[in-house]
Amino acid sequence: MNPSNPDFRTGYIAIIGRPNVGKSTLTNHIVGAKVSITSRKAQTTRHRIHGIYTDADAQYIFVDTPGFQTQYDSALNRGMNKTVVDALHSTDVVLFVIEGTRFDSRDQKVVDLLPKDIPVILVLNKQDLVKDKDSLLPFMAEMNEIFPFAAIVPISARNGEQVPRLLATIRGYLPVAEPMFDEDDITDKSERFLAAEIVREKVFRLSGEEVPYSASVMIEKFEQEGEMRRVFATILVDKENQKAIIIGHQGSKLKEIGTSARLDMERLFGGKVYLELWVKVKGGWADSERILKQLGYD
């Protein structure tokens, strides 16, 4: 055990909830870097992302799961839901994130999955958007009737409000253990993986409504020479019209996606990035187990 801190704690924390409640934003705020992509659209997070935060007292290893899907059925969505369920039973603490003081049938479907033998902390995110602050305590009492939460913590992941309190609450449920990662590690994912996720985020944010649900990104080549990284990536879509949307008039949309992604990569990797993008049509990829494995989906 660490002689300078015999009470040092280390553990895995699963962050779960329906889509768009701020799970990835919370992970990124705590870690201090974009290790999990964010968007207002559903299906942004498709993989388990391990975000790592270490301070003097603990190492927090966050598992940012996909939003639990109840609307669409496909091999991709079934795989994402399995990722959520698996994460619930392989961590030390579960954070169940909901939006403000809103709780509906979609949240209830996640509650039905919550483990009874692992501490579950209810995180009321987006508190900065709750107008009636007097409604908070009655709502918390109602939520305790729905499930025996270990704690309930209101926060704002966007501005960091009450996030230190959340970390202190989590720490109390982590086992006493040595750190598993170096103190300056922020994720267990490779730069190649993160590059693909950043490009996919830009497709989500900058393209039309129907395109992101049928888009994924495959890194064809990732090379590093000193501080320079050269990234060659293909954006996969289902249909020709989606390809046209992503490319845009005279390539304008693809250029916008590429520029925005490149700048994010340079900030994250701390060096210059050369990024080249292509768009290819591969119909039905989200229902193909073979293609999903090629893209890294478990």
Walking along the chain (298 residues) 10 residues at a time, the average pLDDT comes out as 76 87 87 66 54 92 63 48 60 92 89 89 91 88 94 93 95 94 84 87 78 76 90 89 89 94 91 94 61 52
pLDDT value at residue 76: 46
Res 74: pLDDT:
47
CATH topology of domain 191-294: GMP Synthetase; Chain A, domain 3 (3.30.300)
**Residue 43 confidence (pLDDT):** 47
The DSSP code for 159 is: T
**190-199, pLDDT tens digit by residue?**
888 889 888 9
CB 198 within 8 A of CB 229: no
Domain locations in the chain as residue ranges? 9-171, 191-294
Q: What's the confidence (pLDDT) of residue 72? A: 44
Closest by Cα among 143, 87, 142 to 115:
87
Residue 121 main-chain phi, psi, to 5 deg: -100, 125
For 289-292, the CB contacts below 8 A with 24+ separation are 289/75, 292/75, 292/76, 292/79
Residue 1 confidence (pLDDT) = 44
CB-based contacts of 4-8 (< 8 A; 24+ apart in sequence): 5/56, 5/57, 6/176, 7/57, 7/176, 8/57, 8/58, 8/59, 8/176, 8/177, 8/178, 8/179
DSSP 176: B
Q: What are phi and psi of 258, to 5 degrees?
A: -65, -45
Query: How far is residue 73's CA from residue 292's CA, in Å, rounded to a whole number?
Result: 15
Q: Does 9-171 carry CATH code 3.40.50.300? A: yes
Decide: pTM greater than 0.85. no
Q: Is 258 helix (H, G, I), strand (E, B) or coil?
A: helix
